[in-house]
């Protein structure tokens, strides 16, 4: 249900964007060059919404809503992007960090670089 809502929102956003483009208001050069900088400065810029969707699919059960932790599972929100990325890459490599790493290694194996970047972006800024 959540995924559907997100897709509907994305669709509405896209519609808005195209309406804007058709209306003849071309984005200023300033905005275009800002986008370029964002794309070239970092290999992958994580996307908050995509990260949220991924988080709700496979992480929320253990780490709780908004990554605040649940029972014996650690709080993972509010960390620097580089911190979360390096942890997830370590687990994906199959390397243990703490006593319960096998759970996380299993979870991190299927993640792509982009999904890791999205999750890190989401976890850094998510709040209640």
**Structure tokens of 4?**
């559907």
Residue whose CB is nearest to ligand HEC in the complex, by number = 98
The answer to whether 62 touches 103, Cβ cutoff 8 Å, is yes
Q: How far is the CB of 78 from ligand HEC (least distance, A)?
A: 10
| Residue with Cβ nearer ligand HEC (15 or 71) | 71
Nearest to 42 by CA among 118, 109, 112, 126: 118
Sign of CA dihedral 108, 74, 102, 85: positive
Q: How far is the CB of 30 from ligand HEC (least distance, A)?
A: 35
Residues that bind ligand HEC (CB under 6 A): 58-59, 61-63, 73-74, 76, 84, 87-88, 97-101, 103-104, 107, 119
| Residue with Cβ nearer ligand HEC (24 or 98) | 98
19/68 Cα distance (integer angstroms): 39
Q: How many residues does the chain have?
A: 128
Q: How far is the CB of 119 from ligand HEC (least distance, A)?
A: 4
| Residue with Cβ nearer ligand HEC (48 or 73) | 73
Q: How far is the CB of 32 from ligand HEC (least distance, A)?
A: 33
122/4 Cα distance (integer angstroms): 19
């Amino acid at each position: 249900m959540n995924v559907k809502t997100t897709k509907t929102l994305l669709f509405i956003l896209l519609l808005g964007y195209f309406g804007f483009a058709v209306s003849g208001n071309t984005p200023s050069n300033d905005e275009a060059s800002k986008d370029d900088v964002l794309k070239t400065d970092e290999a992958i810029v994580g996307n908050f919404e995509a990260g949220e969707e991924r988080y709700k699919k496979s992480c929320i059960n253990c780490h709780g809503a908004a990554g605040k932790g649940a029972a014996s599972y650690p709080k993972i929100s509010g960390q620097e992007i580089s911190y979360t990325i390096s942890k997830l890459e370590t687990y994906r490599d199959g390397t243990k960090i703490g006593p319960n790493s096998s759970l996380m290694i299993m979870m991190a194996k299927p993640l792509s670089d982009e999904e890791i970047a999205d999750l890190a972006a989401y976890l850094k800024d998510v709040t209640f």
